[in-house]
Amino acid sequence: MSTEGMTATSYIQHHLQNLVYGKLPSGYERGDGTILEQGTWTFAHTPKEAVDMGFMAINVDSMAWAIVLGVAFSFFFYRAAKKATTGVPDKWLNFLEMVVEIVDKNVKESFHAKSNLIAPLALTIFCWVFLMNLMDLIPVDILPKLAQLVGASVFDADPHHVYFKVVPTTDPNITFGISLTVFALIIYYSIKSKGIVGFIGELTLQPFGKWLIPFNFLLEGVSLLAKPVSLALRLFGNLYAGELIFILIAMLGYWQLPAHFIWAVFHILIIILQAFIFMMLTIIYLSLAVEHH
C-alpha cells in the first residue's frame, strides 16, 4: 500500500481501518475541507468519518470477503458432492470426506438429540470461519495495495482514502453476526424442546428455586447472554491480535520475510483451532439448549 508520508502509527491505523460505506449528514465537513450541502451516502475518507456515519454504516470489505468465502465454500462442496461416486475418490474428495467425518463425529459425541440441522450447521461454521481466518496468512500489503490501485485508476480516489481489511474475523461486526445467529438458534431450540413456559422456568427457577426468582433470572440471564458475547469476542480477539502482529512484522523491511514465515507457521494452528473452538461451542450450546433440567 502507499506509505508515503506515513508514520508507523498511521500505517498501523490505516491497515486496521475498514472500508466503510454510510451516510454523512448535510452540513458535514469532510477531511478535505469540503462541506456537504445535503445528506450523502458515500465511502468514508477518514476513520472519523466512519465513526460519524453511525450504526447504519456497512464495512464493505468485511462483508464482501465474508460473502465471497461463503460462496466459495458452498461451490467447492457442491462440486465435490456432484463428483462423488462409489469408485476411488481423488485427493480433494478424500480431504473433504475427512473434514465431514471429523465434524460428524464431534456432533454425534456432543449433541444429545436428533436434528438434521446441527451437522450441516457445524460443518458450515467450521469451514466458513476457517476460510475467513485463512485470509490472515496473505501478506498484509498485497490486497490493500491492489485496492488502492483500483481506487486510484477506476474511481479516481486518493490512495490514502482507500481502506481495505481482508480478514473478516478481525471485524467484530462479522463475529457478532455469526454468534448472534447461533444465539437465535439457542433460543429456538430451547423453546422447541421445553416450550415457552419451560424455557422461562429454566431462566427463573434455577439454581435456587422459586423463592429467589429475581436472583435466578439475573444469574441465568447473564449466563445466556455471555454465550454469544464470548463466541464473538474470542474469535475476534485472537484473529485481531494475529493480524496486528503481521502488520508489525511488515514494518521490519527486508527482515519481514523470515519473520512472516515463522509467525505464519505458528498462526496456522490458531486459525484452525479458533474455527474448531467456535464450531464445538456452537454444538455444545445447542446441546444444552435441548436438554431438560
For the stretch 8-51, pLDDT in tens is 888 898 899 999 999 999 999 988 888 998 999 999 999 999 99
| Residue 58: predicted pLDDT | 95
What is the per-residue pLDDT for 171?
A: 96
Rounded mean pLDDT, 267-272: 94
Rounded to an integer, the average pLDDT of 228-233 is 96
Contact 284, 113 (CB under 8 A): no
Catalytic residue among 110, 173, 193, 234: 234
Q: In this predicted structure, what is the pLDDT of residue 106?
A: 93
The pLDDT value given to residue 3? 53
pLDDT at 86 over 70: no
**What per-residue confidence (pLDDT) applies to 87?**
66
pLDDT-derived band of residue 291, with 50, 70 and 90 as boundaries?
A: confident
Catalytic residue check, 234: yes
Cβ pair 173, 20 in contact under 8 A: no
Cα(202)–Cα(196) distance, rounded to whole angstroms?
Answer: 10
At residue 261, the pLDDT reads 87
Q: Does 94 participate in catalysis according to the annotation?
A: no
Place of cell 429475581: 214
Grid cell listed for 242 = 494475529
Which region among 9-13, 123-127, 170-174, 266-270 has the lowest average model confidence (pLDDT)?
Answer: 9-13
Strands ordered across the beta sheet of 40-43: 40-43, 20-24, 58-59
The residue annotated as part of the active site, out of 26, 94, 223, 230, is 230
3-state class of 27 per DSSP? Answer: coil
- Report which secondary-structure segment, H or E, holds 98: helix 91-110
pLDDT, tens digit, for every residue of 167-209?
999 999 999 999 999 999 999 999 998 899 988 988 888 888 8
Nearest to 256 by CA among 243, 271, 246: 246
Distances (CA, A) of 211 to 34, 81, 235, 292, 293: 63, 55, 38, 21, 18
CA 22 vs CA 43, 45, 163, 184: distances in Å = 6, 11, 14, 27
In the block, residue with C-alpha cell 485463512: 134
* Active-site choice (59, 62, 238, 287): 238
